[in-house]
A and B are shown apart, each in its own frame.
Chain A
């Protein structure tokens, strides 16, 4: 096994379909095609894939991370991790962690003030992964998911702007 990490090639429809397949496999109720298009077409540079170059399908993603970044209430730049998936047979090798690190590094270099995501309260693996990187739980959301579970909103602060209430951040002072 030799895992190679690379950015999404939005022109590669095969890759697009593979990412969708990979993520759909983990969801009880899948996202529509519009969600994938929303992320991948608008922020293709913030989607990364992991492939096993030594496998029989060296171009098929076995892991991926899908992100976006945009201004939050016009006062701070917020990166957002929308989806993260690793094929079950490849889990336990630190692939998810590496994908998250690559994505955060990219968003940090693009001047994000913070990274945000939501995850299920019961998803211990995801919580361990993100909290090990410094994310903290900011709030709990009641029955957030269609499967009726609560969720935590997690944030990783990258700059001091993340640590001041939006109301008190002056408009037009974005980094």
Chain B
């Protein structure tokens, strides 16, 4: 500390006479250091190490980049010929840089900032600057049109910076933002000024009599710029307007039609690693990115943002819940859409969608799950607990827009939160708080577990334990939902019994009061009770599907184990660990969960033993294998019937009187999901027959050592339930 203070008080002097040469002292002290001694700041950790640069190492020192003569001599004040074709080529390449940066996870200096015009404009921006001129070629195409293009891209970059600073996604993972030390984005003109600049450029192009495709292309590019500048409206004004998004799609499609007909070649040196060499660069040198060949990336951005904006149309908590479940489930949405979702949904003014307070939003979820009115619900709960519940629920929503890997990790964290919350709700009336929390916890545990199959986290030998455990969780979830359904049923019956009682009662005050009570219940409670009942029907169908799919996987594993083709442990002896430790590590996320308790390792072993068919009696063995296969087939049929039921409900807009799915806003996405699930169910049934056929051959050939089991994802299936496929071991081919 004392040394720090002394060093901190030092300053640099210009008086050379006061300086003392300490080289010899330095060398002497160095010579006394042991070879292994390392002098470093205590905060210099592995992360710092892997992010550090090294002077004079050509792979780590961007100042060593060698530029071509064209790059060195590139002059922004020259109107490279022919101006229209050249400006179109520069603007086109700049836009494809934007796509490469935002859609293909590339860095700013290798894309947008590799453009010398962008670099120059950002370098010369000072506060209060109007829209140009930034370079002086004497040609309006360069001095006005290109300026407005570059301003548009810079404005978009500034917006993305704002999105990133919200802390929703992770830099260098979901998005690379390295502004090369430019802090001038805030000096950019206001949105209106940039829009005007682009519109003026468009008007200028109208005065050109040229009928070439270059001119058409440049106009589309400017229209795309306009749309990109308007993207921030969805955050700044919470705009639900999709006009600019539609125009972006339209213009991108038109450009895609024109591009193949044009030979676009920007002036040599106009895109360069120049910025990496000359500006503050905290990253290793990188080559200029290979760019996409069309504008389809803009269509992706627009469509994904449009999908996110659908959440504004939600009429119930049920619909927001289903929206969050499905909007990012089938494919990872564009990063801008994924950041926008939580920002427009969970707002700085502490409202959800500008409509509900956080706690009100939370109470809506419980209400729609229980069909009990919020006033009845909130009365017994402390405000802190309600606040905590709301926060965890909002975290669940925020997690839905994370990238596919972070999404699973988010659930890992949430398990503890839901578990702790459930414990706090134990014994509190009404019981529904606890039930709803338990529902969210079990759903999260199932989602976390099954997502691991999608991400290829599990090896085939782990499939049994994971699927058996999810079956176990689904069983608990099913029981919970049935209990909730019974409660709803009791409430419905209680209302109906009032009507029966009314008919028996003689006229009088008692009858009038009961009639009032009955009418109130029919007018205010019955509809929600019926909706909730039908939503629970849907959830029960869903959990039934999960249970059956897990059971098929478990049976399939057991059949394969019965033929010694797989076991629920490593196939080689372990030197440093053991099977129980490995199992316990896999189930680490669940070992602290209170309810349902994680079964002991021995229970997993015993259940597998129970499922496995032994070879004690050869005839019984064949019969049992046959039975297991028939069971798989029957379960698959049951699943398909349930999926069809759900899909009918979705297609019918939840109006069939049986199921309420809440999927109005994500109808297509949910239908696609259930189609995939259906495909998987069929594939699992087919695979079980294929496996049995192969097993017969393997037995005849006494060849089981030459086969192994792989977890295969089918192209049209749902990856949470991979196919346990028999494969010939590679070394057999050698």
Known: A108-B576, A133-B575, A157-B582. A30 touches B588 (CB 8 A): no
B279 within 8 Å of A (CB atoms): no
A172 within 8 Å of B (CB atoms): no
A38 within 8 Å of B (CB atoms): yes
Contact A34 B586 (CB under 8 A): no
Contact of A142 among B44, B52, B405 (CB under 8 A): B405
Chain B residues with CB under 8 Å of A44's CB are 36
Contact B570 A42 (CB under 8 A): no
Contact B581 A163 (CB under 8 A): yes
B592 within 8 Å of A (CB atoms): yes
Contact B459 A131 (CB under 8 A): yes
Contact B577 A156 (CB under 8 A): yes
Quote the shortest CB–CB distance from A129 to chain B (angstroms). 12
Output the nearest chain B residue to A168 by Cβ-Cβ distance.
B592
| Complex CA distance for A114 and B586, rounded to whole angstroms | 13
Known: A31-B50, A34-B54, A132-B570. A160 touches B589 (CB 8 A): no
| Complex CA distance for A167 and B54, rounded to whole angstroms | 38
| Complex CA distance for A31 and B174, rounded to whole angstroms | 23
Chain A residues with CB under 8 Å of B409's CB are 139
Contact residues of B between 576 and 613, Cβ < 8 Å to A: 576-577, 581-582, 584-589, 591-592
Contact A31 B592 (CB under 8 A): no
A111 within 8 Å of B (CB atoms): no
Contact B173 A10 (CB under 8 A): no
Contact residues of A between 111 and 126, Cβ < 8 Å to B: 114-115, 121
| Complex CA distance for A165 and B455, rounded to whole angstroms | 22
Known: A35-B49, A157-B584. A165 touches B592 (CB 8 A): yes
B430 within 8 Å of A (CB atoms): no
| Complex CA distance for A159 and B577, rounded to whole angstroms | 8
A29 within 8 Å of B (CB atoms): yes
Contact A164 B50 (CB under 8 A): no
Chain B residues with CB under 8 Å of A34's CB are 44, 48-49, 52, 54
Chain A residues with CB under 8 Å of B44's CB are 34, 38
Quote the shortest CB–CB distance from A111 to chain B (angstroms). 13
**Which of B52, B54, B416, B588 has most A Cβ within 10 Å?**
B588
A104 within 8 Å of B (CB atoms): yes
A155 within 8 Å of B (CB atoms): yes
Contact pattern, A 136-157, Cβ under 8 Å of B = 1, otherwise 0? 1111111110101010100111
Contact A11 B588 (CB under 8 A): no
| Complex CA distance for A45 and B586, rounded to whole angstroms | 30
Quote the shortest CB–CB distance from B494 to chain A (angstroms). 44
Chain A residues with CB under 8 Å of B575's CB are 101, 133-134
A-side interface mostly: mixed
| Complex CA distance for A132 and B577, rounded to whole angstroms | 11
A162 within 8 Å of B (CB atoms): yes
| Complex CA distance for A121 and B404, rounded to whole angstroms | 14
Output the nearest chain B residue to A131 by Cβ-Cβ distance.
B459
Contact of A158 among B50, B405, B577, B589 (CB under 8 A): B577
Contact B456 A32 (CB under 8 A): no
B403 within 8 Å of A (CB atoms): yes
Contact B576 A105 (CB under 8 A): yes
Known: A142-B174, A142-B403, A165-B416. A155 touches B585 (CB 8 A): yes
Output the nearest chain A residue to B581 by Cβ-Cβ distance.
A157
Contact pattern, B 544-582, Cβ under 8 Å of A = 1, otherwise 0? 000000000000000000000000001010111100011
B contacts with A, residue count (CB < 8 A): 51
A54 within 8 Å of B (CB atoms): no
B266 within 8 Å of A (CB atoms): no
A41 within 8 Å of B (CB atoms): yes
Contact B457 A139 (CB under 8 A): yes
Output the nearest chain B residue to A24 by Cβ-Cβ distance.
B59
Contact A41 B36 (CB under 8 A): yes
| Complex CA distance for A12 and B53, rounded to whole angstroms | 24
Quote the shortest CB–CB distance from B288 to chain A (angstroms). 16
| Complex CA distance for A138 and B581, rounded to whole angstroms | 14
A37 within 8 Å of B (CB atoms): yes
Chain B residues with CB under 8 Å of A170's CB are none
**Which of A146, A157, A162 has most B Cβ within 10 Å?**
A157
Quote the shortest CB–CB distance from B53 to chain A (angstroms). 6
Quote the shortest CB–CB distance from A80 to chain B (angstroms). 8
B105 within 8 Å of A (CB atoms): yes
Output the nearest chain A residue to B407 by Cβ-Cβ distance.
A142
Contact residues of A between 11 and 63, Cβ < 8 Å to B: 11, 13, 29-35, 37-38, 41-42, 44
B284 within 8 Å of A (CB atoms): yes
Output the nearest chain A residue to B284 by Cβ-Cβ distance.
A29
Chain B residues with CB under 8 Å of A104's CB are 576
Contact of A140 among B49, B456, B587, B588 (CB under 8 A): B456
| Complex CA distance for A167 and B417, rounded to whole angstroms | 12
Contact A133 B416 (CB under 8 A): no
Contact B592 A162 (CB under 8 A): no
Quote the shortest CB–CB distance from A105 to chain B (angstroms). 7
Contact A137 B37 (CB under 8 A): no
Output the nearest chain A residue to B404 by Cβ-Cβ distance.
A142
What are 22 A-B pairs with beta-carbon distances under 8 A? A32-B49, A32-B57, A34-B44, A35-B46, A35-B50, A38-B46, A38-B49, A68-B46, A105-B576, A108-B576, A121-B456, A132-B570, A136-B582, A139-B405, A139-B409, A141-B405, A142-B173, A150-B405, A157-B584, A157-B585, A158-B576, A162-B581
Q: Which residues of B does A touch, CB under 8 Å?
A: 35-38, 40, 44, 46, 48-50, 52-54, 57, 59-60, 105, 172-174, 284, 403-406, 408-409, 412, 416, 455-459, 462, 570, 572, 574-577, 581-582, 584-589, 591-592
8 closest pairs, A vs B, by CB?
A163-B584, A41-B38, A142-B405, A32-B54, A35-B49, A157-B585, A38-B49, A11-B35
